[in-house]
Chains A and B, each alone.
Chain A
Amino acid sequence: EVQLVESGGGLIQPGGSLRLSCAASGFIVRYSYMSWIRQAPGKGLEWVSLMHSGGTTYYADSVRGRFTVSRDDSESTMYLQMNNLRPEDTAVYYCARDRGLLGPGPNWGQGTLVTVSS
C-alpha cells in the first residue's frame, strides 16, 4: 500500500528556515516523480515543486530561489528545504506521488502545517 507521511511543519518567524520531510512507503522513491503542493488556510491548492526520478527539480515562481527539494533514496524520503520564509508561505504542505509526467496522482500525504508569523 502506498503511503506518504509529511512532517516538520510548525510555527516559524518570517525570514526563518524549515525543512519538511515526506516519508514514503509502498513504492520506490528513486523511480518516482513526486510533487509538493500547498494550501493556504481557506484558499485553493498551489503547486510548489516537482522532482523527477532522475533528480531534476522544478519550482513555482513564488518559491524558486528560496525552496529546494531533495531526496534520500536510502530513507525513501523527500525533503523540502524552505528558506527566507514569508507570511504568505503559511499553508498546509502536501507531498504527492506523481504519475510520471501526468501529474500528482491519487496518492497524497495528510499534509503538515507551516505557519510563518512573528
Chain B
Amino acid sequence: QSALTQPPSVSGSFGQSVIISCTGTSSDIGSYKRVSWYKQSPGTVPKLMITEVSDRPSGVPDRFSGSKSGNTASLTISGLQAEDEAHYYCISYTTSNTWVFGGGTKLTVL
C-alpha cells in the first residue's frame, strides 16, 4: 500500500491553469475509475472536488476537471483564483479492496 505519488508543490499565476498529477500503479489507479480529489485549506476538513476520475459534485466550479491515463490521474484547475490556494489530495481504490491517498500537493497562486 504505497502512497500515490503527487508533486509536493505546484504554482500558477492568477487566471492561468495548473495540472496536478497523481501516479499510482496497475493495482490502484490503473485498475479502476475510482479516483477522487480533495481540497484542504488550512484548518479545515477536506472537501471533495472530483469523484470517479472526472465527475464534479454539485457546487464545485467547472474550472476543476479530472482525467486519467494509465496509472496516472490528473486534476486540472483552470482560471486560477486566490481561493484555489490549498493542499490537494488524490485517492484511489486498490485491488486489495482498500484505499490509498497521494502525499498531497500544495498549490500556490501567484
Q: Provide the bound-state CA to CA distance between A62 and B98, in Å.
A: 12
Query: Contact: A50 with B99, CB < 8 Å?
Result: yes
Is A2 an interface residue when CB atoms closer than 8 A count as contact? no
Residues of B within 8 A of A109 (CB): 45
Is B18 an interface residue when CB atoms closer than 8 A count as contact? no
Residue of A nearest to B91 (CB): A103
Q: A45-B46, A47-B91, A106-B48 are in contact. Are A101 and B34 (CB under 8 A)?
A: yes
Interface band, chain A:
20 to 34
One of A62, A101, A110 near B93 (C-beta < 8 A): A101
Can you add 5 more A-B contacts, CB < 8 Å, to A44-B104, A45-B46?
A45-B101, A99-B51, A102-B36, A103-B34, A104-B36
One of A62, A103, A110 near B45 (C-beta < 8 A): A110
Interface band, chain B:
20 to 34
Is A115 an interface residue when CB atoms closer than 8 A count as contact? no
Is B109 an interface residue when CB atoms closer than 8 A count as contact? no
Q: A45-B89, A103-B36, A111-B45 are in contact. Are A35 and B52 (CB under 8 A)?
A: no
CB distance from A111 to the nearest CB of B (A): 7
One of A45, A46, A102 near B51 (C-beta < 8 A): A102
> Which A74-113 residues sit within 8 Å CB-CB of chain B?
94, 99, 101-106, 108-111
Residues of A within 8 A of B91 (CB): 45, 47, 103-104
Q: A47-B99, A101-B93 are in contact. Are A61 and B45 (CB under 8 A)?
A: no
Q: A103-B34, A106-B57, A111-B45 are in contact. Are A44 and B98 (CB under 8 A)?
A: no
Is B100 an interface residue when CB atoms closer than 8 A count as contact? yes
Q: Provide the bound-state CA to CA distance between A108 and B45, in Å.
A: 7
Query: Contact: A61 with B51, CB < 8 Å?
Result: no
Is A27 an interface residue when CB atoms closer than 8 A count as contact? no
